[in-house]
Structure 1
Amino acid sequence: MEIILAKRAGFCFGVKRATQMAFESAEKGGKTYSLGPIIHSPQVVNRLEALGVKVLRELDEISDGTIIIRSHGVTSEELEEALRKELDVVDATCPFVKKAQENVKSLSEAGYDVVVVGDADHPEVQGIVSYAKGKVYVVGSEDEAARLPRMKKIGIVAQTTQSFENLEHVVLECLRKGSEIHVFNTICDATAVRQQEATALARDVDCMIVIGGYNSANTKRLAELCADIQPRTYQIETAQEIDPAWFSEVNRVGVTAGASTPKWLIDEVIDRVREIDGAKIS
């Protein structure tokens, strides 16, 4: 059985940067917190907690110390509250997410009603939305965009982990809703490249393994895209979840991972698959 690992599996630039900043903060000691999980990898969060980084749900829980802003960003109100409390703020917001926040703010100030393409329940989207000063709508699909009201000026940004196809479909629908459209393609290049590599790999293997947190939007999307092509697609967080039965009559296994998945988790999965069938990796 041959194992083929996608070239760009695992940490993207923003996640790698945030994780490095979090571990560096932990090493300094003192009261250190993160507002929400620093990235969507429970295993990385657990390692940080072992070093003393406590995950908070709200800033009301603390009055001093260091607060790490997660890679997905936080709302503008939360950031203002942290500064008002004079906390030591380590802003690990992904630069691409930060750009989406800035785009929403500038569109709103220019008089556009803002449409954010993404998952309304995702912390990244909740943070992005908070930078709008006027009307703002969150849509996850073309069908949801079809239910938007008529607007004179529409500004559009996307959650960084959205697929380009979904953004395109929403934009086309918005063309029917307004006379002036301003679109910022805020999809992260790393996300697009991972999706392209994953789908190409799924077409060439008998089984796909997608590694990443179940709370990770980009990992979930990778798994969905692969499953559309290769029905024998399995999303896992750790090597312990692998079922040897998955590899019955399988000659080639594809492996990819979400942007929040550390290399050590990928290595453990590959080692486990190799143990099952004495597989070789390429």
Structure 2
Amino acid sequence: MADLRIEVASHAGVCYGVERALKLAAHAAESARGSVTTLGPLIHNPIVVRDLESAGVKGAQTVDEVESGTLIIRAHGVVPQVIDQARAKGLEVLDATCPYVKKVHMAAEKLVREGYQLIVVGESGHPEVEGILGHAGDAAHVVSTPRDLDGVDLARKVGVVVQTTQTPANLAAIVSALALRTMDLRVVNTICSATQERQDSAAELASRADVMIIIGGKNSGNTRRLAEICMDRCPRTHHIEDSSEIQRTWFEGVALVGITAGASTPGAHIDAALACINRLLEP
């Protein structure tokens, strides 16, 4: 393994929205009077969530569980009624919703105001998608694949917004299917540029690597998509949350190890993986 090389994708790890949310939470933990609570996990990374708990930032699933103090709205956003409920209860609300997610909310509201039936391209049940639906009106539909359009009664005017971590290929496939079935189709591509950059750089590296390691929460949609993209190009792809999962046998007969990480993965987690690999390869 003396000639083994390790390369980190040119775009990997925390995006702007996640970094912003983490900074807001850290500042609140240090300066807020009273308890600090996140509504759901702040980001989809169990290790980061545990670290926040150690720093005194608790988690709650509903506003009803929070009696007082500061409530942090997760990076994925929430429906507007949740923020109203929290403020009505006298809680200090710290909105850590990613600014790019807020752009999806505004695009959804605008399309509905203009009379378009809304299609949300994304994962049904995902917190970001649920937040988008809160701004989309009662007639919106969530679509993950073109097949999900089967049985949907489409209007003459259809508008589309996209979960920020979706792939351009999936959006294109769904738009192609919609174009055949509606007279007036308006698409607002709300895929985050950071997502596209991570996906593109992961695909490029995976096409050259013998082994790929994807670092990030198993509950993170964007990290799972990175793993899928890499698996298509590099069958020896491993999705890990923690560097302790890395095994020496993964590197036998390998010339190039590629590493990338989801948008909810701090740089320290990438550094820990690199250190772990180097330790495992020591003679």
Report the TM-score range of the alignment, normalised by the length of the smaller protein: over 0.9
Secondary structure of the corresponding residue to residue 141 of structure 2: strand
Secondary structure of the corresponding residue to residue 77 of structure 2: coil
Deviation at 1:63, TM superposition (A): 3.0
Counterpart position of 2:48: 44
- Aligned 8 A contact 2:217 2:240 in 1: yes
Deviation at 1:91, TM superposition (A): 0.5
Q: How many residues align?
A: 279
Residue by residue, what CA displacement relative to the aligned partner does 1:110-155 show, whole Å, maximum 9, x if unpaired?
2111000000121000000111124100010122134422311111
- Aligned 8 A contact 1:109 1:133 in 2: no
- Aligned 8 A contact 2:156 2:183 in 1: yes
Secondary structure of the corresponding residue to residue 212 of structure 2: strand
Structure 1 segment 199-218 matched on structure 2, within 5 A: 199-218=203-222
Runs of at least 5 residues in structure 1 that lack an aligned partner in the other structure: none
Secondary structure of the corresponding residue to residue 120 of structure 1: coil
- Give me the whole-angstrom Cα distance separating, in 1, the residues matched to 2:226 and 2:79: 26
- Aligned 8 A contact 2:213 2:237 in 1: yes
Q: Is 1:101 aligned to residue 105 of structure 2?
A: yes
Backbone CA RMSD of aligned residues: 1.2
With 88-97 and 59-68 compared, the bigger mean Cα shift is at 59-68
- Give me the whole-angstrom Cα distance separating, in 2, the residues matched to 1:145 and 1:170: 8
Counterpart position of 2:30: 27
Counterpart position of 2:273: 269
Q: Percent identity?
A: 44
Specify which of 1, 6, 10 is matched with residue 3 of structure 1: 6
Counterpart position of 1:70: 74
For 2:22, the aligned partner's letter is T
- State the TM-score, normalized to the length of structure 1: 0.96
- Give me the whole-angstrom Cα distance separating, in 2, the residues matched to 1:145 and 1:67: 37
Counterpart position of 1:14: 17
Structure 1 segment 132-171 matched on structure 2, within 5 A: 132-171=136-175
- Give me the whole-angstrom Cα distance separating, in 1, the residues matched to 2:180 and 2:224: 30
- Aligned 8 A contact 2:44 2:217 in 1: yes
Runs of 4+, deviation exceeding 2 Å: 145-148
Secondary structure of the corresponding residue to residue 178 of structure 1: coil
- Give me the whole-angstrom Cα distance separating, in 2, the residues matched to 1:81 and 1:177: 40
Runs of at least 5 residues in structure 2 that lack an aligned partner in the other structure: none
- Give me the whole-angstrom Cα distance separating, in 2, the residues matched to 1:149 and 1:124: 24
Counterpart position of 2:190: 186
- Give me the whole-angstrom Cα distance separating, in 2, the residues matched to 1:84 and 1:104: 25
Deviation at 1:257, TM superposition (A): 0.2
- Give me the whole-angstrom Cα distance separating, in 2, the residues matched to 1:134 and 1:74: 16
Specify which of 216, 228, 232 is matched with residue 232 of structure 2: 228
Deviation at 1:41, TM superposition (A): 1.0
- Give me the whole-angstrom Cα distance separating, in 1, the residues matched to 2:196 and 2:278: 29
- State the TM-score, normalized to the length of structure 2: 0.96
- Aligned 8 A contact 1:149 1:177 in 2: no
- Give me the whole-angstrom Cα distance separating, in 2, the residues matched to 1:146 and 1:197: 34
